[in-house]
Structure 1
Amino acid sequence: MDIKDGQGVTGERADLLAMLAKHRHFLRFTTRDLTDEQAGLRTTASELCLGGLIKHVTAVERNWADFIVDPSTMGDFTEMTEEDWARRADEFRMLPGETLAGVLDDYSEVARRTDELVAALPDLDAVRPLPKAPWNTETHWSNRRVLLHVITETAQHAGHADIIRESLDGAKSMG
C-alpha cells in the first residue's frame, strides 16, 4: 500500500498523517538547494546540523514505528553503554561518506513505511509498555500517543532546522 496525501485514509488517521506530512515537509524544506557540506555545517552554538537533524528524526520515526510493531525493539536505555551513546550521537551529524540526498532518501523510505503502518493499524488505542529510560515517567503509551510523539519530535526539530538554515544563509522556511 502506498499512502500519498492521506489517500484511502479517513478520520483521525488522516488527520495524524496530514499533520506529520506537514512537519516532514517543513523539515525537508530547510535543506533545499544545499550541498552535502552545507548540510553538515554547525551554524549555531548547538552541535546540530541540518543533515544530522534529518538523520535523527529519521531514526526517531523508525524506532517508534518499530516499537508499535514490537515494543521489545526499543530496548532498555538504562543499560546503554558509552559506545551505544556515541552511536546515537552520530545521528546528529553528517558522517564521512554520507550525502544529503542519501539522508533524505532514507527519511522518505521511513516516512512511507510509517504512513503504511498508521493506515493498517487495527487499533490506535492499543497500549504498549514503554522502554526503561531515565526520562520516562509513564509506563505505557497507546499507538496514538506514540504517533503524537513522532509528530511533536518532527515539528520541534523542523523549528530547530529553520534556525540553523537561517543562520547558514538567511533562508527561511516561512516568512
Structure 2
Amino acid sequence: MATYTTPELGVDVSGEKRELLTLLQDQRNMLRVAARNLTDDQARKQTTVSALTIGALVKHLARGEENAARVIVERDENAEFDMSRLAGEYELGTDETLDGWLEAYERNAAGFDRVIAEAADLDDLIPQPTAPWQPEHEWASIRTMILNLLRETAHHCGHADIIREALDGQTTMGAISEGQAWAEGEWWEQS
C-alpha cells in the first residue's frame, strides 16, 4: 500500500481494517511531521488569514479521535453533540502545550484503533449524535466513521502544512523526503 510515511499499527488487524487504519495512521504521521520541532509559541502562531494554528489542529484531532471511539463504544441512540465542547477547541491555550496534545493525540488514536480492532463488523451501524449541522438522528457504519476520521485528518493535515510553510518554510513533503535519493534534483526543488 502506498503511504507517505512508514505507518506502524499498535493493533493486530488484517484485511480492510488494516488498510483503513494504515491510511489513517499515515495521515496522523503527516500531522506529526507538520508539528515536529515546534515550540509552544510557534504552535500557537497564526500564519495565514485563518485563525487556525498547528497546536489547535493537533488538539482538535486528538479530541476527534477520542470522540469517535466514544460514539462507537457507547452507541447512544439519544446522543446530542455537546456544543460547549467547542469552547477553546481551535486554540492552544497558554496553559496547554503542543507536546501535551501530541501525547493525547497518540493516546486517543491508539484507543480508537483498539475500538476498531475489537469491532466485530465494519458494517455495524452506530447512532450518530445530533448536532446543529445534523439535527436528525442518523446511523453510520463503523467503516464510514473510519473514513470520516480519515477525511477529517487529511483535511487538517493540509491546513497544518500550509500553516507550517508560512511559519518557517517547512513543507511536510519536503520534510519526509529529506535525504531520499528520489527527492534529489532540480525537478523536486521546484515543486
1:71 counterpart residue number: 75
Distance in 2 (CA, whole Å) between partners of 1:138 and 1:12 is 27
The one-letter code sitting in structure 2 at the alignment partner of 1:36 is D
TM-score scaled to structure 1, two decimals? 0.87
Q: Where in structure 2 are there 5+ consecutive unaligned residues? A: 1-7, 175-191
Q: 1:38 to 1:132 in 2, by over 3 A?
A: same
Residue correspondence of structure 1 range 1-175 to structure 2 within 5 A: 4-5=8-9, 8-72=12-76, 75-77=79-81, 80=83, 84=84, 87-136=85-134, 139-175=138-174
The root-mean-square deviation of aligned C-alpha atoms, in Å, is 2.0
Distance in 1 (CA, whole Å) between partners of 2:103 and 2:78 is 23
Distance in 2 (CA, whole Å) between partners of 1:61 and 1:25 is 14
Distance in 1 (CA, whole Å) between partners of 2:34 and 2:158 is 10
The one-letter code sitting in structure 2 at the alignment partner of 1:153 is E
Larger radius of gyration: 2
Deviations 1:130-163 (A, max 9, x none): 2222323772101111111111100100010000
- Contact 1:43/1:167, CA 8 A, preserved across alignment: yes
Identity within the alignment, %: 43
Deviations 1:82-122 (A, max 9, x none): xx1xx514121110121111110000100111111111111
Q: 1:58 to 1:73 in 2, by over 3 A?
A: farther
- Contact 2:127/2:137, CA 8 A, preserved across alignment: no
Deviations 1:53-106 (A, max 9, x none): 0000111111111000013399424x74xxx1xx51412111012111111000
Deviations 1:5-60 (A, max 9, x none): 36621100000110110000011110111111100111111110001000001111
Q: Where in structure 1 are there 5+ consecutive unaligned residues? A: none
With CA pairs under 8 Å and 6+ residues apart, which has the higher RCO, 1 or 2? 1
Distance in 2 (CA, whole Å) between partners of 1:131 and 1:120 is 22
More helix by share: 1
**Structure 1: 4+ residue segments shifted above 3 A:** none
